[in-house]
């Protein structure tokens, strides 16, 4: 069974995806890390994030081991990833990478922005996880504080809104709800409640063996 989870930044989809993968014993891929890795490759090489040819080349050469780089988790890398992820050539270069992962015999859990609409349109379960921009900014602000990053809340909210607009307005695989996706709004839900809502959907589709 493939479980596709989409949603905007800081909606809780990553946390939910990890818990579902552990619960159902499925491999998990945070596809956002792929775009962060491409952005970091460009920055390490001193290249412009808007250089689509260089970004596509970095995407084609991406090694799985690079996804473990701790620098990928920083707030600045999220903004950088949002820039390169809007480039059609980058998304095309990473599409096969993601589909190969999803094609594991056991199934898989993938989270991102276009999993249910583009990467795995035939996924057995599609979830769209969202929350208000203000709540997502509060969560991201707490997360950054926990890492020792002193970023004002207003800046975090502005970053969230910029990324929302870029994700929704891009020409290549814009963020949208798949027609057959179940929407889970986590604004007023804690992680446990969101997990229960998601497992109800997955179990209703027969679970990973179904």
Residue 108 marked in a binding site: no
Write the burial class of residue 96 (CB in 10 Å: 0-12 exposed, 13-18 middle, 19+ buried).
exposed
Cα–Cα distance for residue pair 173/61, rounded to 1 Å: 21
9 is in an annotated binding site: yes
88 is in an annotated binding site: no
Per the annotation, does 11 bind a ligand? yes
- Is 13 marked as binding a ligand? yes
Separation CA 17–CA 109 (nearest Å): 6
208 is in an annotated binding site: no
The answer to whether the annotation marks 70 as part of a ligand binding site is: no
Residue among 4, 5, 18, 6 nearest 191 (CA): 18
Q: CA-to-CA distance for 27 and 18, rounded, in angstroms? A: 9
- Known binding site: residues? 7-15
Residue positions in the annotated binding site for ATP?
A: 7-15
């Amino acid at each position: 069974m493939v479980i596709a989870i989409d949603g905007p930044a800081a909606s809780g989809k990553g946390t939910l995806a990890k818990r579902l993968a552990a619960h159902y014993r499925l491999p998990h891929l945070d596809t956002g890390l792929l775009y962060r890795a491409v952005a970091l490759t460009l920055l390490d090489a001193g290249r412009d994030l808007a250089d689509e040819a260089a970004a596509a080349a970095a995407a084609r050469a991406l090694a799985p081991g690079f996804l473990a780089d701790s620098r990928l988790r920083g707030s600045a890398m999220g903004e950088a990833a949002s820039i390169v992820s809007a480039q059609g050539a980058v998304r095309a270069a990473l599409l096969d990478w993601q589909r190969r992962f999803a094609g594991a015999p056991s199934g898989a859990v993938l989270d991102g922005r276009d999993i249910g609409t583009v990467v795995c349109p035939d996924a057995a379960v599609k979830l769209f996880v969202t929350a208000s921009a203000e709540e997502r900014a509060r969560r991201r602000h707490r997360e950054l504080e926990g890492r020792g990053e002193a970023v004002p809340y207003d800046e975090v909210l502005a970053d969230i809104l910029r990324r929302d607009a870029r994700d929704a307005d891009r020409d290549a695989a814009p963020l949208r709800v798949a027609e057959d996706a179940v929407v889970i709004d986590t604004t007023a839900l804690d992680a446990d409640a969101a997990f229960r809502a998601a497992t109800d959907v997955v179990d209703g589709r027969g679970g990973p063996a179904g």
